[in-house]
Amino acid sequence: MSSQPATGDVVGGVPHKDLATAIRVLAMDAVEAAKSGHPGMPMGMADVATVLFTQFLKFDPKRPDWADRDRFVLSAGHGSMLIYALLYLTGYEDIDLEQIKKFRQLGARTAGHPEYGMARGIEMTTGPLGQGIATAVGMALAERHLNARFGDALVDHHTYVIAGDGCLQEGVSHEAASLAGHLGLGRLIVLWDDNSISIDGPTNLSLSEDVKARFVAYGWDVQAVDGHDPVAVAAAIAQAKTTSTPSLIACRTTIGLGAPTKAGKNSSHGSPLGAAEIAGARAAYGWEHGPFEIPAPILDTWRQYGARGAAAAGAWDQRLAAADNSLGTAFKAAQSGDAPAELDTVIAAFKRATSEARPSVATRQASGNVLDAIFDVVPELISGSADLTGSNNTRTKGVVSLQRDKYEGRYIHYGVREHAMAAAMNGMALHGGLIPLSGTFLCFADYSRPAIRLGALMKQRVVHVMTHDSIGLGEDGPTHQPVEHMAALRAIPNLLVFRPADQVETAECWQLALQSKTRPSVLALTRQNLATLRVEHTDENLAAKGAYILREAEGGVAKVVLLATGSEVEIAVQARDVLQAEGVPTRVVSMPSWELFVEQGEAYQAQVLGGDDVVRVGVEAMVRMGWDRWIGPKGGFVGMPGFGESGPYKELYQHFGITVDGVVAAAKARL
């Protein structure tokens, strides 16, 4: 493999070498101007990216949200100048030369790592290694499912990924690659920047496995090419497009290609090259132009390639217009992402029936009951579980499993792959046309957390059903009893964390999760049965305020306010009855979502919480962290002092003092 740029003219007009060099010099110059960044990967993968964007990728810079475009994910997000250069060169309006010059500067669209929503053409936020390839699995899965629903005329595209050694080392990529191979996602093509370099030095410092053999074992088609040979790269991509399995193309490249002393070394990975090294690289490229200067013939040629997709987009418009009216209407509805109007009617009827019947059910079962009621009403819902279907109740009656070559199914068996599951759901949401939900235990939120955080950062509607939400799961013990997880999840910005108290609240939380188009949600649900507390029906979604007065004080202004979530609301209601009987006016506030309560403003919060002279007691079978915000200077807390124990759940509640007597005692101690 040559250590110099490729010279083949395989695309016509301007030589491939010059098109690829435009990417390299923009990357070098932007990183140098910022005095920060990662020039080596864009310099090494410029040949591969040029082949992809000029010969294969189906896109239209003038319509970056065209539904049937190919998806391109830069999983190796540290090399962000690669995608910024490509977006600028092909004519995306959000990235002009001024944005390139402002790389990594405050307020620029050209952030240190690609950020979804900051510039059209960026399909997802990348940077945490492995997240890109794992999320792309969800995109490819969404394409196959929607193709099965709407047909080739409307859904027929590929998902391409550029990934590095770090992406393929991170555990989430292993989970996701295994799932993709199992499902036969042949529209997924990963271009591996196989440069054998990591931050610390050569990858053989920490890696000795045969990566290609591993992907073969996952059921992928695997090829290996010289990443600086455009003819070979093009042939490999063409071959990958014919397979019925996902494809990995190992592109052997030189990091920092052309840099006189840093090419092929870790010194070109994450630091500016410096003026002398850049001058030497320019000489190696035969590039006689100044910083940020792209000659008109080269830029014009790139723009012509960018404009090529307009014809395909126009033809797709015609196919959509010609589609059967019901099919076209359903496709547009799916792409809009709006929850159907019928959802409100169904939820209201479900709540009324629950308030009348007053069942005692676990909220995990309540969630399953809600899904049974709404699943056909919201055809964009696609469900699944991490091998916990019977525990999570995420599979609705009559739903068909999604399997290899049976992509019309709406239930995904993710296997024991919580992290990949969460990432894939992000990909489905980003792709559009689907509302993904899945189930696992709340204690495994730790396994999903990086992808949950990324979903919140990208503002994606993804619903994480997480059951067995406290010591109430009982005998499985402290390894499975989540005590710190609510606090950890509540710490993630833009994430809605719901802990409903009964079946009515569970329905309201589902309604909110589906209507929240720019936020992911976690539903923390019980294993143990809970009484129906909302026995008087109202069409209003009371959980929408985050916290509300469930039982008002009687016999005067409230002297005690009991604040509780989930299964502990029932305990608080019983404690209120005791305090009221003893002449202490006591209010119970259910708090299914702290995040929504914060958004109501101080006036509403004061109305619900009462003044500083009121004794407030928080009740939650979790650690105290975060509760002091609500319980105030006189506040008490009844909850977990640390990890749980193994035993029947009723005995555990007694053991830890999360009882009616414990709540009453905490209130009286502060009166």
Binding residues for substrate are 38, 269, 364, 391, 468, 476, 480, 527
Those residues with Cβ within 8 angstroms of residue 586's Cβ, 6 or more apart along the chain or in another chain: 553, 558, 559, 560, 561, 562, 575, 576, 579, 580, 667
CA–CA dist 268, 112 (Å, integer): 16
Those residues with Cβ within 8 angstroms of residue 352's Cβ, 6 or more apart along the chain or in another chain: 537
| Three-state secondary-structure class, residue 18 | helix
418 is catalytic: yes
| Three-state secondary-structure class, residue 468 | coil
**Three-state DSSP string of 408-438:** CCCEEECCCCHHHHHHHHHHHHHHCCCEEEE
**Residue type present at position 199:** I
> From start to end of 238-380, where are the E strands?
247-252, 361-362
DSSP string, 184-199: T-TTEEEEEEE--B-S
Nearest Cα to Cα of residue 571 among 556, 557, 551: 551
| Three-state secondary-structure class, residue 637 | strand
CA–CA dist 7, 23 (Å, integer): 15
Determine which one of 143, 418, 505, 620 is catalytic: 418
Q: What residues are paired with 332 via a beta bridge?
A: none
Do the beta carbons of residue 32 and residue 272 sit within 8 Å?
Answer: yes
CA–CA dist 62, 128 (Å, integer): 29
Q: What residues are paired with 90 via a beta bridge?
A: none
Give me the count of residues in the chain.
671
Pair of tokens at residue 181: 């191979």
Nearest Cα to Cα of residue 86 among 122, 44, 37: 122
Instruction: Determine the number of helices (DSSP H) and then strands (DSSP E) in the chain.
Output: 26, 19
The binding site for thiamine diphosphate consists of: 78, 127-129, 166, 195, 269, 444
CA–CA dist 95, 92 (Å, integer): 6
Pair of tokens at residue 453: 């955080």
CA–CA dist 510, 223 (Å, integer): 45
Give the distance between the most distant pair of CA atoms in the chain.
90
Q: What angle do CA 59, 61, 65 make, to 5 degrees?
A: 70
CA–CA dist 65, 661 (Å, integer): 58
Place of tokens 């939400």: 469
The binding site for Mg(2+) consists of: 165, 195, 197
Place of tokens 């719901």: 498
71 sits in which H/E element:
strand 71-74
Note the helical H segments in 393-502.
418-431, 445-458, 485-490
Q: How far is CA 433 from CA 135, 335, 395, 577, in A?
A: 16, 5, 20, 48
Residue 258 φ then ψ, to 5°: 95, -20
The binding site consists of: 38, 78, 127-129, 165-166, 195, 197, 269, 364, 391, 444, 468, 476, 480, 527
Those residues with Cβ within 8 angstroms of residue 152's Cβ, 6 or more apart along the chain or in another chain: none
Active-site positions read: 418
